[in-house]
Amino acid sequence: MTVRTRADLGALPSYVPGRSVPGAVKLASNEVSAGPLPSVVRAIADAATAVNRYPDTAATDLVARLGDRLGVPTDQLAVGCGSVTLCQQLVQATCTEADEVVFPWRSFEAYPIITAVVGAGQTRVPLTAGHGLDLDAMAGAVTDRTRLVFVCNPNNPTGTALTAAELERFVDRVPTDVLVVVDEAYKEFVDDPDVPDGVEFAKAQWAAGRDNVAVLRTFSKAYGLAGLRVGYAAASPAVAEALRKVYVPFSVNALAQVAAVASLDAEDELMARCRAVVAERGRVRAELLAAGFEVPVSQANFVWLPLGERTAAFNEHCLAHKVVVRAFAGDGARVTVGEVGENEAFLAAARSFTG
């Protein structure tokens, strides 16, 4: 007899990570090429001697540091094994099979997967012609079944971002019993003053009596800790408590907690590195525009090339030139902004593309 598993899992797509090709420049996963800072590496090495002990499942030190830094009470913070796990925990905490999640598309590839894993319904709302989130259509897609809406800002993979005024108008249109999750995985790379700090935005909403706004952030991108998996959520006390109830015990390991705290200690140095990435982002986009590509303005550490049916050919062309990008067949290619030499290798490949 064959063990019976959920029949719907057969149709569930697997999450596809960015490829790694030996000897090639990898610009497919939005990682920071420079890696963690030396002080963070030393903290990880020191903590490694105690990995025979379980980690603090409440991540007490990290939560306290985040609370001080953000000006958010610790009972309104929850940690997770990367912000993607927090995304799934939020769906688990708000949805049953009778409920649904609304999100833009194309957006973070995990949204439809984690929603299906929980068993909830999903509504995908197409982006605008300018590759941004269509907030009017998203608000219109909310029904009595909707329990959660993901708002990726800046959006992955297009890099486009919402202004504070746009986000506020959207939240005003969403019923107060529907959770709006602002996913800010790339917040540290934003240089547009009109794009809000999600935590500050959420604090203003909470103060006004709207407890249905939550914010997600991660240490994977700007902080260079993608391999350790640690992220956090800021939310109302009730939502944060629900997140902790569905949390898998000890899933944020001890090294990740230590590395995150050490990264906060080195934040000035890390933010200087982010500014360098932002400068390179502008240069890469300008070069691509000059080469004839359409490239929307990005507020993340990557650029988006909406190549449509040319995407597969562009991907193969880049691979032939030993550059790995993230191709979304039929839509476009997302390219991480790396070090100068890595970016030059990509630009050389892009300029020679004739497909």
Helix (H, G, I), strand (E, B) or coil at 6: coil
Share of the chain above pLDDT 70, in %: 97
Mean pLDDT for the chain overall: 95
Span 314-340, pLDDT tens digits: 999 999 999 999 999 999 999 999 999
- With cut-offs at 50, 70 and 90, classify the pLDDT of residue 244: very high
Give me the mean pLDDT over the 178-191 stretch. Answer: 98
Question: What pLDDT shows up at residue 324?
Answer: 97
What length is written for the chain?
Answer: 355
Residue with tokens 């007490």: 60
Helix (H) or strand (E) segment spanning residue 80 = strand 77-80
Task: State the average pLDDT over residues 134-146.
Answer: 98
The mean per-residue pLDDT over the stretch 294-315 comes to 98
| pLDDT tens-place string over residues 76-87 | 999 999 999 999
Please give the pLDDT value at position 11.
72
pLDDT at 41: 95
Torsion of CA 326, 328, 330, 331, to 10 degrees: -90
Q: What is the pLDDT of residue 35?
A: 81
Strands 146-152 and 121-126: unpaired
CB-based contact 345:47 (threshold 8 Å): no
Average pLDDT, integer, range 143-167:
98
Stretch 178-194: mean pLDDT: 98
pLDDT for residue 12 is more than 80: no
- The two three-digit tokens of residue 44, written as one number: 């990880």
pLDDT of residue 58: 96
| Selected residue with higher pLDDT from 36 and 351 | 351
3-state secondary structure of 303: strand
Which tokens go with 137? 């259509």
Q: How far is CA 239 from CA 75, 76, 136, 224, 334, in A?
A: 10, 8, 25, 28, 33
Return all residues near 90 (Cβ < 8 A) that are at least 6 apart. 148, 179, 181, 214, 233, 239, 243
| pLDDT value of position 34 | 85
CATH 3.40.640.10, domain 49-265, yes or no: yes
Q: What is the DSSP string of 126-188?
A: EPPTTSS--HHHHHHH--TTEEEEEEESS-TTT-----HHHHHHHHHHS-TTSEEEEE-TTGG
pLDDT tens sequence across 42-98: 999 999 999 999 999 999 999 999 999 999 999 999 999 999 999 999 999 999 999
Whether residue 21 is predicted with pLDDT greater than 90 in this model: the reply is: no
pLDDT at residue 15, rounded to an integer: 61
Half-sphere exposure of 254 (CA within 13 A, CB side): 13
Over residues 126-154, mean pLDDT? 98
Decide: residue 127, CB within 10 A, 0-12 exposed, 13-18 middle, 19+ buried: buried
Neighbours of 144 (CB within 10 A): 9
**7-36+268-351 homologous superfamily:** Aspartate Aminotransferase, domain 1 (3.90.1150.10)
- Per-residue model confidence (pLDDT) at position 47: 96
pTM exceeds 0.75 for this model: yes
Query: Using an 8 Å Cβ cutoff, are 252 and 243 in contact?
Result: no
Query: End-to-end alpha-carbon separation of the chain, Å?
Result: 51
Q: What one-character-per-residue DSSP string does 200-262 give? A: HHHHHHHHTT---EEEEEESSSTTS-TTT--EEEE--HHHHHHHHHTPPTT-S-HHHHHHHHH
pLDDT > 90 in the chain, percent: 91
CA 238 → CA 69, 93, 140, 147, 185, distances in Å? Answer: 21, 11, 26, 15, 23
Sorted by where each begins, the domain ranges of the chain are 7-36+268-351, 49-265
Average pLDDT over residues 226-241: 97
User: What pLDDT, on the 0 to 100 scale, is given for residue 108?
Assistant: 98
Chain centroid, CA 69 distance in Å: 20
Beta-bridge partner residues of 333: 305, 327
Give per-residue pLDDT as tens, 247-283.
Answer: 999 999 999 999 999 999 998 999 999 999 999 999 9
pLDDT at residue 22 greater than cutoff 90: no
Residue 355 pLDDT: 80
pLDDT of residue 7: 73
Q: What's residue 123's pLDDT?
A: 98
pLDDT of residue 301: 98
